[in-house]
């Protein structure tokens, strides 16, 4: 029996014409904020203010640290005594010794009284000294004799004795002691004692 076995595919029903097509939604785009001109100005101004404040704080801190670490200045009379003490180690060399003690006094007078002593000759310095009232007449005379004695040793090749050199050192030290700043101390007031009680009369 000769039969044709054909595959019969049933016809599909046509799609409904009223079907709603699928809707495709667009992805949400991020909002791009357009910066305002004033906003940028305030941001930049704030950054500048913080930078300036940080710089000022840094300078203040550096200044404070340097001030705390800075040693206290040596008073002129203390420096002069140290220089005169060092000059004693040169007493075996009269010229070096007289140069050291006269230099100590010149530096002291410049620091203490603003005299232009180190860069002047003895004559120029003594002439300026006479116009000043910062030293007494006796101190001026003593200083003039001291400087003349030092110049005699330095320039006239005078050979002094050790006692003469020590006398120059004593004169220089006495001038420093007499002219150093005085610390004012409060005067001690005498204690007020109560008057003795009046004896009772009978």
Rounded Cα distance, 139 and 130, in Å: 11
- The structure tokens 């050979």 sit at 159
Read off the pLDDT band of 55 (50, 70, 90). Answer: confident
In a domain, 95, yes or no: yes
Does residue 82 share a domain with residue 168? Answer: yes
Residues 57, 104, single domain; the answer is: no
Based on the number of CB atoms within 10 Å of its own CB, is 104 exposed (0-12), middle (13-18) or buried (19 or more)?
Answer: buried
H helix runs in 37-179, sequence order: 37-69, 76-87, 94-113, 122-130, 137-155, 162-179
pLDDT band (50, 70, 90) for residue 22: low
- Within this chain, do residues 126 and 175 fall inside the same structural domain, yes or no? yes
Residue percentage of the chain with pLDDT more than 90:
38
Question: 3-state SS of 69-102?
Answer: HCCCCCCHHHHHHHHHHHHHHHCCCHHHHHHHHH
Do residue 51 and residue 101 come from a single domain?
A: no
pLDDT at 166 over 70: yes
- pLDDT tens digits, one per residue of 73-115: 889 999 999 999 999 999 999 999 999 999 999 999 989 988 7
**Could you tell me if 199 and 104 are in contact, meaning their C-beta atoms sit under 8 angstroms apart?**
no
Angle between helices 137-155 and 122-130 (to 10 degrees): 180
Is 137 inside a domain boundary? yes
Domain final residue, candidates 70, 86, 114: 70
Same domain, 60 and 108: no
Whether the pTM exceeds 0.85: the reply is no
Q: Which pair of structure tokens corresponds to residue 124?
A: 């120029």
Q: Is residue 56 part of a domain?
A: yes
CATH number of the structural domain spanning residue 153: 1.20.120
Count how many domains the chain has: 2
Same-domain check for residues 106 and 171: yes
Tokens 């016809």 belong to which residue?
Answer: 11
What per-residue confidence (pLDDT) applies to 82?
95
- Regarding whether 172 and 119 lie in a shared domain, the answer is yes
Are 81 and 169 in a shared domain? yes
* CB 149, CB 157: distance < 8 Å: no
Q: What is the pLDDT of residue 152?
A: 93
Q: Does 49 share its domain with 105?
A: no
Domain range for 94: 76-179
Task: Examine residue 46 and state whether it is found in any structural domain, yes or no.
Answer: yes
**Same domain membership, residue 106 and residue 90:** yes
62 and 118, same domain (yes or no): no
84 and 169 in contact (C-beta within 8 Å)? yes
Please determine, for residue 66, whether its predicted confidence score (pLDDT) is greater than 60. yes
Q: What was the pLDDT predicted at 52?
A: 87
pLDDT digits (tens, 9 = 90+) for 28-47: 555 555 556 677 777 788 88
The two tokens of residue 36 are 């305002």
Environment class of residue 8 by beta-carbon count within 10 Å: exposed (0-12), middle (13-18) or buried (19+)? exposed
Verify that 127 and 88 share a domain, yes or no. Answer: yes
Q: Which residue has the higher pLDDT, 193 or 137?
A: 137
Whether residue 16 is contained in a domain is answered as: no
Confidence (pLDDT) at 191? 52
């Amino acid at each position: 029996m000769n039969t044709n076995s054909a595959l019969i595919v049933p016809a599909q029903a046509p799609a409904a014409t009223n079907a709603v097509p699928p809707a495709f939604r667009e992805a949400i785009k991020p909002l791009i904020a357009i910066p305002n001109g004033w906003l940028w100005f305030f941001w930049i101004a704030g950054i500048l203010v913080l930078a300036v404040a940080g710089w000022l704080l840094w300078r203040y801190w550096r200044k404070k640290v340097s001030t705390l670490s800075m040693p206290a200045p040596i008073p002129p009379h203390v420096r002069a005594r140290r220089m005169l003490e060092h000059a004693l180690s040169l007493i075996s060399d009269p010229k070096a010794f007289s140069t050291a003690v006269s230099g100590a006094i010149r530096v002291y007078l410049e620091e203490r009284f603003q005299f232009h002593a180190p860069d002047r000759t003895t004559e120029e310095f003594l002439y300026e000294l006479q116009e000043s009232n910062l030293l007494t007449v006796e101190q001026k005379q003593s200083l003039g004799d001291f400087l003349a004695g030092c110049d005699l040793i330095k320039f006239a090749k005078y050979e002094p004795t050790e006692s003469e050199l020590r006398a120059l050192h004593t004169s220089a030290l006495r001038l420093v002691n007499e002219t150093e700043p005085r610390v004012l101390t409060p005067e001690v007031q005498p204690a007020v004692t109560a008057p003795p009680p009046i004896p009772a009369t009978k």
